[in-house]
Chains A and B, each alone.
Chain A
Amino acid sequence: MGTPAAVRVWERSLLQHRRVWRTSLLGSFLQPLLYLLGMGLGVGALVDGTTGSPELLGGVSYFAFIAPALLAASAMLVGSQDSLWALLDGFLWGNQYRAMTATPLRPTQVAAGLSLWHATRALLTVVGVAVVLTLFADTRTWGLLLAVPAGVLTGLAFALPITAWTATREGDISFPAIMRFAIIPMFLFAGVFFPIEQLPSALQPVAMLTPLWHGVELCRASVLGTLGAADAAVHVGALLVYVVGGWLLCRWAFTRRLAS
């Protein structure tokens, strides 16, 4: 019976995105490459030259430690940015979402279409980083294929709950605080640049609750080939809690906002 409703919403986001694809492609390849060169190789040389560090990192080079984590971190950054200002624009200034529900589209279908778009963006981002990782011998493994869906799941674990939050907002006042007090601290402390075992012991459980930590662990273990079934189940399960919970909140928030 024709194209599903959510896919039609998704197509619109795609059309909108096509105008800026070149610069965003630049971002998704160049940024991780630069971070890999700067942090992975540059700082890596200092870390690897320090006695005792390899033990702290689980026996791998610093490059091999942070490179896979960038898959999850990039997905987080893109997923959260997309679901803050750009999304609020559709509710507030551009008002496209209300325009959509003036057609036979239901609010839930709009939410589904946007979620599908978030997944697409996460996929493009993660594949970009993965391609960069194949340039380096340390990370050129079949495990990358497993890390890609893990990265997408991480992206959604941020995009969906934040989308639900944005859908209830009338302004962007809270957005800088979300970046500053949630996203940036996770980026710095949730296991991307150093193992969370180095955090004060009281903070370790907090880090373990963040979706980023689960995403990072999943991607890292996939690429390094150390992923066990039990760990995988725990991490995927934790991410799914965020994704499914976020989706339910999205459905509720979109219906409340657009069905009036």
Chain B
Amino acid sequence: MITGLASSALDLRRPHRMVERSVMVYRRGWMVIVSGFFEPLFFLLSIRIGFGALIGDIEVGGRTIGYAEFVAPALMAAAAMNGAIFDSTMNVFYKVKYSKLYDSVLATPMTTADVALGEIAWAMLRGLMYSVAFLLTMWALGMTGSAWVVLAVPVCVLIGFAFASIGMAVTSFMRSWSDFEYVPAVQVPLFLFSATFFPLSQYGSWGWVVQLSPLYHGVALVRGANLGEWSWTYLGHVAVLVGLAVVGLTITARRLRALLLS
């Protein structure tokens, strides 16, 4: 894996050209991106209106906070995951199998590593815009806990990086559209059971299962940033996400070579 990574890293010169292409495409489709900003608004409002009255303050890590303040950062992390998964699965599959975009790109001096990293970089860039919008919405609705919450943005980009890498790696093994029906079967449990909607303590002796979820580590970081708390365990959470990203990226670069350069 080390040598695979090294050789693909050597082959990396202009991944930003893939980003340039996406910018060209979305220059016309800016409405899609703008309308995406409404999503956090709807989700956060429903939390505020619905659960504001139904759920009182809860206790996390010895502190008592409002439920909205508890859930909002987790939703932000989950949104980063969902966006990255969408961009790196269906979108990429379409380009590999149907539009043959990458075949034509690879006929130029571009390499598979350029394509893989370029596409992931674009997914992250979209994730960045989305996270900023999410944060602004949270702030406007009074759901932010401290100024440190700005750190939630880079954390969300990291979450996006990890899931986009894994998503692309998984996509490279997909044979047909119906294979994608299994994606929600993984995504929904991650969304619901990563200490997103209720604290880890509530899982009792099943807490260790939750910690297997990569999203759990992302949620813990964003939540920590929102509360302005520091703990050495955060380094572990970051390491998990970085590790996932590296593994995913390595598999993806290799698989793309096998798929497109045979």
A residues in contact (CB < 8 Å) with B: 19-20, 23-24, 26-27, 30-31, 34-35, 37-39, 42-43, 45-47, 49-53, 56-57, 62, 176-177, 180-181, 184-185, 188-189, 193-194, 198-200
Inter-subunit contact A46/B58 (CB<8 Å): yes
Residue from B42, B185, B188, B193 within 8 A of A188 (CB atoms):
B42
Residue of A whose beta carbon sits closest to that of B32: A176
Which has the most chain A C-beta neighbours within 10 Å: B36, B39, B50, B178?
Answer: B50
Inter-subunit contact A184/B55 (CB<8 Å): no
The distance from the CB of B223 to the nearest CB of chain A, in whole angstroms, is: 16
Inter-subunit contact B55/A194 (CB<8 Å): no
Residue of B whose beta carbon sits closest to that of A43: B197
Asked, given contacts A23-B181, A34-B189, whether A180 binds B39 with beta carbons under 8 Å apart, the answer is yes
Residue of A whose beta carbon sits closest to that of B70: A46
Asked, given contacts A26-B181, A38-B197, A46-B67, whether A193 binds B50 with beta carbons under 8 Å apart, the answer is yes
Measured between beta carbons, the chain B residues less than 8 angstroms from A189 are 42, 45-46, 49
Inter-subunit contact B202/A42 (CB<8 Å): yes
Inter-subunit contact B51/A194 (CB<8 Å): yes
Bound Cα distance from A45 to B198, whole angstroms:
9
Inter-subunit contact B35/A176 (CB<8 Å): yes
How many residues in B have their beta carbons less than 8 Å from beta carbons of A? 30
Contact of B4 with A by CB under 8 A = no
Inter-subunit contact A23/B182 (CB<8 Å): yes
Residue from A42, A177, A181, A200 within 8 A of B192 (CB atoms):
A42
Measured between beta carbons, the chain B residues less than 8 angstroms from A50 are 54-56
Dominant SS among interface residues on chain A: helix
The distance from the CB of B195 to the nearest CB of chain A, in whole angstroms, is: 10
8 A Cβ contacts from B179-194 to A: 181-182, 184-185, 188-189, 192-193
Contact of B107 with A by CB under 8 A = no
Bound Cα distance from A20 to B182, whole angstroms:
11
Measured between beta carbons, the chain B residues less than 8 angstroms from A20 are 178, 181
Bound Cα distance from A200 to B46, whole angstroms:
12
Inter-subunit contact A180/B35 (CB<8 Å): yes
Measured between beta carbons, the chain B residues less than 8 angstroms from A180 are 35-36, 38-39
10 contacts between A and B (CB under 8 A): A38-B193, A43-B51, A46-B58, A47-B51, A57-B54, A188-B45, A189-B45, A194-B50, A194-B54, A199-B49
